[in-house]
């Protein structure tokens, strides 16, 4: 049975399957490509392709005004993520919403409110974290709660199993590390690379976020406190920022210092 829920910036969850407040007649859950074409003779040439923006919609059905007010208090917090489980796994979409409101239907005795969601992402699966190096012994505890961790088959590298669509990764490289560098490989060929000319001390980390909406190359403490913007320290002869291609690929981490690089790669796999 398919399921829906909504999450907000406070970490709260609103079950959209509740009997007294549920999402009815959902639509706009598909996927497509917008293609721009140019007429050439008696045929057409595609000049640009881009994914269609998701546009889910439906009706929120409330038992009464109290449930409507509860939903609005939840939604107005912001930072909304719509979660949809069509079969075995959840899919997520960053959204804003708009909702119409009238009066309680005299026959149904219910408050039926058309709702539409404005997407600020594509649909994606739960974020997965791939570990570049397994700590020996008891290991070090990092302040993260990753849903999945995969040990690499090779020290200082991660094997990533991407889907049928490209995805933006987020790299977290832990100090101590001197001039950290990373390279993306697929089918044995290097297709992109990056490096930052800086030394990150023990207790700090370098974050390379490649998502266009949150893009950054910055240094933080292990506890998440901002230290400095390190974009200006980039090796500008490298790409630094890239997408992961569809299919399997590998990111290899190196440094000018001694030892393997300890790092995580977070992937928001598009679906």
Give the other-Cβ count within 10 Å of 4's Cβ: 19
3-class SS letters over 146-198: CCCEEECCCCCEEEEECCCCCECEEEEEECCEECCEEEEEECCEEEEEEEECC
pLDDT of residue 155: 52
pLDDT of residue 149: 41
Give the other-Cβ count within 10 Å of 191's Cβ: 14
The residue to which tokens 């919609």 are assigned: 57
Would you mind telling me the total number of residues written for the chain in this entry? 271
Specify the domain boundaries for CATH 2.40.30.200 within the chain.
3-119
Tell me the sheet residues that pair with 13: 7
Q: Say if domain 128-267 classifies as CATH 3.40.50.1260.
A: no
Specify the domain boundaries for CATH 2.60.120.860 within the chain.
128-267
Pair 59, 115: CB distance under 8 Å: yes
Written as tens digits, the pLDDT of the chain (271 aa) is 789 999 999 999 999 999 999 999 999 998 888 888 898 888 888 888 888 899 999 999 999 999 999 999 999 999 999 999 998 889 999 999 999 998 998 888 999 999 999 999 999 988 788 888 544 443 344 444 444 444 444 458 888 988 888 999 999 999 999 999 999 999 999 999 999 999 999 999 999 999 988 999 999 999 999 999 999 999 999 999 999 999 999 999 999 988 888 998 999 888 8
CATH dotted code for 3-119: 2.40.30.200
CA distance 77 to 147: 25
């Amino acid at each position: 049975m398919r399921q829906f829920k909504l999450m907000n910036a406070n970490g709260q969850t609103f079950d959209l399957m509740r009997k007294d407040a549920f999402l009815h007649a959902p639509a706009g859950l598909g996927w497509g490509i917008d293609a721009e074409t140019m007429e050439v003779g008696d045929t057409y040439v595609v000049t640009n392709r881009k994914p269609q923006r998701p546009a889910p919609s439906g009706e929120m059905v409330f038992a009464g005004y109290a449930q409507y007010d509860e939903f609005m208090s939840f939604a107005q917090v912001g930072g909304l993520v719509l979660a949809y489980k069509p079969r075995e796994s959840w899919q997520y979409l960053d959204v804003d919403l708009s909702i119409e409101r009238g009066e309680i239907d005299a026959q149904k005795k219910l408050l039926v409110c058309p709702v539409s969601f404005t997407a600020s992402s594509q649909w994606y699966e739960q974020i997965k974290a791939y570990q570049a190096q397994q700590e020996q012994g008891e290991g070090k505890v990092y302040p993260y709660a990753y849903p999945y961790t995969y040990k690499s088959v090779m020290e200082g590298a991660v094997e990533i199993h991407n889907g049928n669509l490209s995805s933006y990764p987020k790299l977290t490289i832990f100090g101590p590390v001197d001039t950290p560098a990373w390279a993306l490989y697929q089918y044995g060929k290097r297709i992109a690379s990056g490096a930052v000319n800086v030394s990150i001390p023990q207790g700090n980390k370098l974050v390379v976020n490649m998502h266009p909406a949150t893009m950054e190359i910055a240094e933080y403490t292990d506890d998440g406190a901002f230290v400095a913007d390190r974009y200006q320290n980039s090796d500008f002869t490298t790409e630094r920022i890239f997408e992961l291609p569809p299919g399997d690929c590998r990111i290899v981490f190196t440094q000018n210092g001694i030892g393997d690089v300890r790092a995580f790669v977070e992937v928001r796999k598009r679906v």
